[in-house]
Amino acid sequence: MRLWKDILIACLVITVIALISHYMDKRTGSKLTRNCLVICSNLTIKQLTAPVTGLYLVMTKLFPIVNSYLSGHWSVVAETTHGYFNISTARYMSIYIYRIFKNDLFYFNSSRWEDPLYILKKYQLNDNHKDKPVTVYDIAKNAMEFYNKDDSMKYSMINHNCQHVAQYIISTYGKVDKEDKLMTNFKGLELLSKSMTDALRGPKIMF
């Protein structure tokens, strides 16, 4: 009996320490990396300033059972003459840029992600950027300004997340049809409801 009591106390102490560590990590991470543009994998100035010729909306599957495109991590891949570069949000309000490699018609790979980045759709650049080509850095900087446009804003899984930033990038720089369902901006309970309905009743796309 004494052994079980000690085990229970130890579990409670470990849980409390873990919760405190998680809270402090989140608070420190949000403070230090907020509004930061993180450039990974030794990217060069030539790569960052290369004109973008096309955009890909991509997702990483987060949950093995939930089968919905709304439940994955969304980001944008910029295609240039110097390769492909992923522009991705982080939960601590920063934007990451890193080089990736196109594997086939359906997904990209990189050393940063364990899972593939599956292509949801490819977009051409809109006509606003014909005279002055937009660069990888331009898009990432604009995305960061949108992500952190208000100091009181913070990452929210349902209200201010990776999907909303990716949609902003595509709608700002890409040619988007009015009927494009990938650009429908779901938030709050509507996002949760749509995600669950899509997972249970939508088309079964197995990644």
Could you please report the per-residue DSSP string of 22-44? HHHHHHHHHHHHTT-EEE-TT--
Write out the chain's pLDDT in tens, 207 residues.
666 665 666 556 566 554 454 444 455 445 566 788 888 878 899 999 999 999 999 998 777 666 678 888 999 999 999 999 999 998 788 999 989 888 777 788 776 556 788 899 999 999 887 778 899 999 999 999 999 988 777 888 888 999 999 999 999 999 999 889 999 888 888 888 887 777 776 555 554
Q: How far apart are CA 90 and CA 143, in angstroms?
A: 12
Q: How far apart are CA 77 and CA 152, in angstroms?
A: 28
DSSP letters, 148-166, are: TSSTT---BTTTBSHHHHH
Q: How far apart are CA 90 and CA 98, in angstroms?
A: 13
The tokens for 44 are 């060069």
Determine contact, residues 43/99, Cβ cutoff 8 Å: yes
